[in-house]
Amino acid sequence: ILSENRSLSIRGAQEEDPPDPQLMRLDNMLLAEGVSGPEKGGGSAAAAAAAAASGGASDNSIEHSDYRAKLTQIRQIYHTELEKYEQACNEFTTHVMNLLREQSRTRPISPKEIERMVGIIHRKFSSIQMQLKQSTCEAVMILRSRFLDARRKRRNFSKQATEILNEYFYSHLSNPYPSEEAKEELAKKCSITVSQVSNWFGNKRIRYKKNIGKFQEEANLYAAKTAVTAAHAVAAAVQNSQTNSPTTPNSGSSGSFNLPNSGDMFLSMQSLNGDSYQGAQVGANVQSQVDTLRHVISQTAGYSEALGGNTMYSPHGLNANGGWHDTTTPSAVISPTEGPGSVHSDTSN
Q: Nearest approach, Cβ of 190 to DNA (angstroms)? A: 10
Q: Nearest approach, Cβ of 327 to DNA (angstroms)? A: 6
Interface characters, 318-337, with DNA (x: CB under 7 A): ----xxxx-xx---------
Q: Cα–chain-centroid distance for residue 92? A: 49
Q: Which is nearer to DNA, 11 or 155 (CB)?
A: 155
Q: Which is nearer to DNA, 140 or 265 (CB)?
A: 140
Residues 198-217 that bind DNA (CB under 7 A): 198-203, 205-207, 209, 214
Interface characters, 153-192, with DNA (x: CB under 7 A): xxxxx----x--------------x--x-----------x
Do 166 and 222 meet the contact criterion of CB atoms below 8 Å apart?
Answer: yes
Q: Cα–chain-centroid distance for residue 138? A: 26
309 binds DNA (CB under 7 A): no
Question: Among candidates 16, 293, 58, which has minimal Cα distance to 187?
Answer: 58
Q: Which is nearer to DNA, 78 or 169 (CB)?
A: 169
- Residue 240's CB: how many other CB atoms inside 10 A? 8
Question: Among candidates 141, 140, 150, which has minimal Cα distance to 192?
Answer: 150
Helix intervals (H) in the chain:
2-11, 21-32, 46-54, 61-106, 111-148, 159-171, 180-190, 194-210, 212-237, 262-274, 287-300
Q: Nearest approach, Cβ of 181 to DNA (angstroms)? A: 12
How far apart (Å, rounded) are the C-alpha atoms in residues 256 and 16? 76
Interface ranges with DNA (CB under 7 A): 150-157, 162, 177, 180, 192, 196, 198-203, 205-207, 209, 214, 322-325, 327-328
